[in-house]
Amino acid sequence: MRGLTAYLKPYRKFFALAPLFMIFEVFFDLLQPRLAAHIVNFGIVDRDYGVIEQTGFAMLAVALLSLVSGVGCNLFASRASQNFGADIREALFKKVQTFSFENVDAFKSGSLITRMTSDVVQVQNLVQMALQGMVRSPSLLIGSVVMALLMNLRLGLILLGTLVVLVAALVVLIRFSSPIFTAVQAKLDAVNTRIQENLAGIRVVKAFVRTKYETERFREVNGDYTRISIRASRFIALNSPIVTLIMNACLVTVLLYGGDLVSTGSVQAGDLVAFVNYVVQVLSSLIMVSGLLMNVTQANVSANRIREVLAERPRIEDAEPGADDSIPARHVKLENVSFSYSGSADPKERVLRDLDIEASRGDTVAIIGATGSGKSTLVQLIPRLYDVTSGSIRIDGKDIRDLPLIGLRSRIGMILQESFLFTGTIRDNIAFGKPDATQEEIEAAARMAQAHDFIAKLEDGYDTKLGQKGVNLSGGQKQRLSIARALLIKPPILIMDDSTSALDLGTERRLRTALNEIMRHTITFLIAQRISSVIEAQRIIVLDEGQIAGSGTHGQLMASCEVYRDIYRSQYGKQEVPYVGQPTVQSF
C-alpha cells in the first residue's frame, strides 16, 4: 500500500472513527467472558438467581453496545474504502489519458483494465478489512491473551507457546504465497487481453469461421489462470485448517490441565469457562488475522501494479507550463524525419527514414504507397501521437515538441483510418471535439460530410443512440460521421487517413466538392489507396518502405516515378486514364 496513502488523506476522519468504534466493540466483547465467569462463580455455583438475572441483563446491554459499535465501524470503514477505491480508479484513468501510444503498447490494454478493476478492488477491500479486522483481530487477540494471563498465568503460558507456533506457520505460508499471487494477476491480465481482442474482432472471427480456434486460444490462457488460481487457493485454504488444528490442540490441553486445577481447587470453574472463552476468541482472531495477512499479500501485489501505472512517465512529454501556443498554423515542415516504434537509432528498425515535406495553408499533400509503407505512421507524427526518433516537425517555425499538446492538437482535425464512434447519440459523436457546438453548426458539418441526409431519415435523427463503436451504422455512415466530427472544429490542419475507403464513388465525389472551399483555407494531408482520390492534389508523395520514392503532381510522377506507375497500373491496367495538366480544384 506504500505510495497510495495519499489517497487516504481526504477521508482521514472516517479512518479515525472506524477504528475508534471497533476498539469499543472489542472492549465490550472482552467483557463478556468476565461476566460469564461471574455468573458461573457467584450465580450458578451459589444458586443465586439474582446474580444470574442482573449479570444476564448486563451481558445483554454489553452485547447491544457491541452491536452499535460494530455497525458504526462498518459504516465509516465502507465510506472510507469505497471513496479511496473510487479516487484511485479516477487517478488511474486520468493517468492513462496522458499516455502516448508507446505507453499503452507497453502495458497492453487488457492489463490496464485489470489494474483499474481487479487490482483496485483488492486494495479497496484491504482498506475495508483493515479498518475492521486489522483493528478488531489484533486488539481482540492481545486483549484476550492479556485477560487470560491475568486470570491464570500457568494456563496463559500454554496459550503463549501456541501463538509462537502459529506465527511461525503463518510466516512460512505468506512467504511462499506472495509470488503466486503476483502470477495470478499476470495470468488474469492475459485472460482480459484475450477477451478484449476477441470481442473487438468478433466479426472477423465469425467471417473466417475461427470460433473453434479462438476458443482453444482462450482455453489455453484460461487454463493457465485457473491452475495458478488453484495453487493460490490451496495456500489460502491451508490457512484456516492449520490455525484451527493448532488452537484446538491448545484448547484440549487447557481443558485437560485446567480440569485438574479445578479439581484441586486451584482454579474456579467459572474462571476456567472464561479462560476457554478467551482461547476461543484468540482462535477466531487468529483465523481473521491469518486471512488478513493473506489479503495483505494479495493487495500488496495489486498495489505494486497500480503504482507502476501511476509512476509511469508518458513517453510524449508536454511542453513546459506557460509555453506559447499562439500559432495560426499556416505552415508545416517535416525536416529529415525518421521514426522507429522502439525509438532505436538502428536504421533497420526505422519505419520512416529521412523525410522532408513542406506545406502551406491552402496546400493539399496527398500520400500514397503500398500497404506497410508508413503512410499512417507519418501523419500520426504531426499531432504527436508518436514522437519523431530524429529530425523535427515545425508548425509556423516552432518545433511541435515545444508546443503544449492541447494547443497543438486543437489545431488539427484528424480523421483516423478506423472510424471509431462512442456510445451515445449521433449529436454527441459529431460534437465530440466541440461540446458547445450549436445544432446549426453540427448540421452544417454533417451536410459537408454528406451525412445529414441519412441522419434525417433515422427515426430519432441526431438523437439516435449509437451502440458500441457505432455498431448500428454501416461502414460508410461511420466514416461520414467521423469526417463531420473533424470538420466541426474547423481545423487549420486537416489529416484524412484513408477516410473515404468505405464510400462509393458518387458520395466521395460529392464530399470532394463540398470540401473544396474548406481545403482552400487549411493544410490538408490526405492518405488514400485509390489513385482517383489523389489525382488532382497539388502534391503527391509516394512512400516506399518508409522513404519518399517520388514527389510531384500526377503527371510528373507518371513520367518520373516507377513506384507510382506500378500503383497506377495495378488500379487502371496498362491503359492510362486521360489526365491533362495541373489541377484546377483542390481535391482528394
On the CB side of 283, how many CA atoms lie within 13 Å of its CA?
18
CA distance 537 to 491: 19
* φ and ψ at residue 526, rounded to 5 degrees: -120, 120
Condensed to tens digits (0 to 9), the pLDDT of residues 393-439 reads 999 989 998 888 888 888 898 888 778 888 889 999 999 988 999 99
pLDDT at 470 > cutoff 70: yes
- DSSP string covering 256-273: HHHHHHHHTTSS-HHHHH
User: What CATH architecture applies to the domain 5-311?
Assistant: Up-down Bundle (1.20)
Considering the entire predicted model, what is its pTM? 0.68
Residues 6+ apart with CB under 8 A from 58: 35
Query: Which pLDDT score, from 0 to 100, does residue 587 have?
Result: 43
| Average pLDDT score over the chain | 82
Position 583 scores a pLDDT of 41
Q: Which CATH code of 3.40.960.10, 2.40.50.180, 3.40.50.300, 3.40.190.10 fits the domain covering 416-490?
A: 3.40.50.300
- Give the closest residue to 384 by CA, choosing from 93, 91, 95, 98: 98
Q: Which of 211, 234, 232, 214 is nearest to 222 (CA)?
A: 214
Residues 6+ apart with CB under 8 A from 241: none
Distance CA 530, CA 328 (A): 31
Q: Which long-range contacts (CB under 8 A, 24 or more apart) does 63-67 make?
A: 63/28, 63/32, 65/24, 65/28, 66/24, 66/25, 66/28, 66/29
Q: Residue 378 and residue 79: Cα distance in Å, rounded?
A: 49
DSSP single-letter state for residue 372: T
Distance CA 12, CA 331 (A): 54
pLDDT tens-digit series, residues 203-227: 667 666 777 888 888 888 888 888 8
Distance CA 115, CA 117 (A): 6
* Matching fold, domains 329-411+492-588 and 416-490: yes
Q: How confident is the model at residue 338 (pLDDT cuts 50, 70, 90)?
A: very high
Which CATH code is given to the segment(s) 329-411+492-588? 3.40.50.300
E strand or H helix at 161: helix 153-200
Does the pLDDT value for residue 201 go beyond 90? no
Higher pLDDT, 303 or 586: 303
Sheet holding 547-552, edge to edge: 412-415, 493-497, 523-527, 364-369, 539-544, 547-552
Separation CA 308–CA 313 (nearest Å): 10
Contacts 24+ apart (CB under 8 A), 318-324: 318/404, 318/405, 319/401, 319/402, 319/403, 319/404, 319/405, 323/402, 323/403, 323/404, 324/403
- Residue pair 408/394 in contact (Cβ under 8 Å)? The answer is no
Pairing of strands 331-339, 352-360: antiparallel
Domain boundaries along the sequence of the chain: 5-311, 329-411+492-588, 416-490
pLDDT at position 523: 92
Q: Which of 26, 56, 22 is nearest to 38 (CA)?
A: 56
Q: Per-residue pLDDT averaged across 48-77, rounded?
A: 85
> Residue range 439-465: average pLDDT?
91
Query: Which cell goes with 92?
Result: 488511474
Looking at per-residue confidence, does 177 or 562 come out higher?
562
